[in-house]
Chain A
Amino acid sequence: MTRRMKWIQLGVLAALIVLLPLLFPSGYYYRVGALIFVNALSVVGLVILIGYAGQISLGHAGFAGIGAYACALAPEHLGLHPGLAVLLGAGISGVMALLIGRPILRLKGYYLAVATLGFGILVSMVLTNERALTGGPDGMVVADPGLRDLLRDLGLRLSGGELWYGVSGLVLLVGAWIALNLLDSPTGRAMRALHGSEVAAATVGIDVAAQKLRAFVISAVYASVAGSLLALQNQYVTPDVAGFLHSVEMVTMAVLGGVGSVLGATLGAAILTLLPQVLTVFAEYEQLVLGAVMIGVMIFLPQGLLPSIARRLRGTSE
């Protein structure tokens, strides 16, 4: 992975974000695009955790929930600007990940998956049951951060869809840039090394537990920021954002697209965000088709869509 590869990938992503609107038949698609970018952001975080460091989390939606509800609650109760609430949510998510990961990641094996599963359910239960604070299962309204008004004062008139398409796309680009920086850095190499062999990584001086913890905390912050963006653009949150299904969806997107690849993650997010909309023609068989697609990909393209396709194109298919 050279520096040149990093800029090519970022270039491709930037070009897609800028050029796709030319194909949009209506303003509605800006909403869909923004949703894809938000999903892709949390999946890029999972690429760091699963793809680089080889650890599985089944509760990352919990961090998305923290990010989302930080944007809903902090402006109302603390008088914080929604923009700062994003940072507050990211901070809380990072600290939570640290507290959960520190004892768990000393152990080898699947303990992280089980612990995060519990964490995700816990967050989702709190959000559902603390009615007085969160509005319960009905959710709550999120204050407008005033970004649109600010831009209008600066002479840029955007629809809500266009604005959040741009903001989400920009944040995704930054997230992808950071993940690609990490890939070809000492920390990223240490993560990939322990993924390959924990014992060999330790013998070259890599603190295996500490590097796993780093990956977990970083990916939690990604999920949190994605949750915040979702809350801000919908101007509404429900506990579903922290639900178990959302956690599974994130992991599925990552694995479908190619869990070691930032661009693959984006592709996985795009497909699984769009597919349910396309598959509505199958009516009640929608879930069935979705499941079949997943099984097919795992059997025929086990490394995920993008890496497998890239390998075929290079002619080095195994």
Chain B
Amino acid sequence: MSGFDVAALRREFPILVPGLHYLDNAATAQTPRAVLDALIAHETTHRANVLRGVYRLAEEATAAYHAARVELAGYVNARDPNEVVFTSGTTGAINLVAHGFGAALKPGDEIVISVLEHHSNIVPWQLLRDRAGVVLKALPVTLDGRIELAELPRLIGPRTRLVAVTHASNVTGAVTDVATVVAAARSVGAPVLLDGAQMAPHGPLDVQALGVDFYAFSGHKMFAPNGVGVLWGRAEVLAAMAPFQGGGEMIRRVTLARTEYADPPHRFEAGTPPIAQAVALAAAARWVRGLPAEAVHAHLRRLTERLLDGLAARGRVRVIGPTGLQGRLATVSFAVARVHPHDVCQILDARGVALRGGHHCAQPLMDALDLAGTARASLAPYNDDGDIDAFFAGLDDVLRRFP
């Protein structure tokens, strides 16, 4: 049994009409009514710019924006809300670090990433390499789609200035053993950035316990609107970083000769921030925290097991990633012999099953696995057995139509 009322949970999501089997949550999760209500309430009663106006609406908007920062700080267990920087998303957060933290790096300094990364945690470092002369190294991937941590001692050395890896893969679902990464990085004094885009929706985090220095995640993957995300950064690391973008809100004093920058987090929030989105993201964080965590975990684990077992039972189908339930999220990629993932997804779409196919913005991983792409089912708490039934009915149709 699921242990909680999935049907009731589904009713919180207006978009989940009968006949839609939404299994692309790793790309964008759907938004519950509580979050939509918070968004509309803010925009209809408190909408104004923040941090400048003295009129009532502006004060209310500023208070709501600050409250959102406090909520997100609690969600990641930050020591101080000022360690939470609102960004446009995970991509914006990592680019911020690549510029702000990267500004202090020198030619020959090294950054360690992995083959498992989303392009968002590869390309910003390549751009930094190209403009600053740093060296980019990549941890390889194991056959079951995990970062090959045994290679850490070989790749991390005295010139390592940052280790930037995913907390959980958007392709294989593999969860990274963060403690091992942090220990290796700490041995050479290097900070650690985690791409938490996939992990953050699965419940509150503890950045202090993780022992990392940066944590990036997106609103749209954790039941909030598009256009907002979070960079959490350790206070002393943020304080030492240069600004990324220049503009309003991020300054203390501007003259034509020079500018004195604001302290974090405002130093990194140039221009009008995504205020209503941040308020809605805070509502999403509250919503996630309100879920019965253990029951949701058991529910997703059971559905993931159904996926893994069902895929394994079909001879032409191969799971790309961990085949067991340990150390993985409810994100399952697979390849079907002689059928392209987009063809798989197209045929399932005709049955109302929303599935993602392609390289998932992880082309180096696809190259390493010698695949053009995979099809991927990624679950959220509102998925149910009917979704899994529809998925397998569609997959069997694929296998019939592409003998």
Are A and B interaction partners? no
Interface residues of B (CB under 8 A from A): none
Interface residues of A (CB under 8 A from B): none
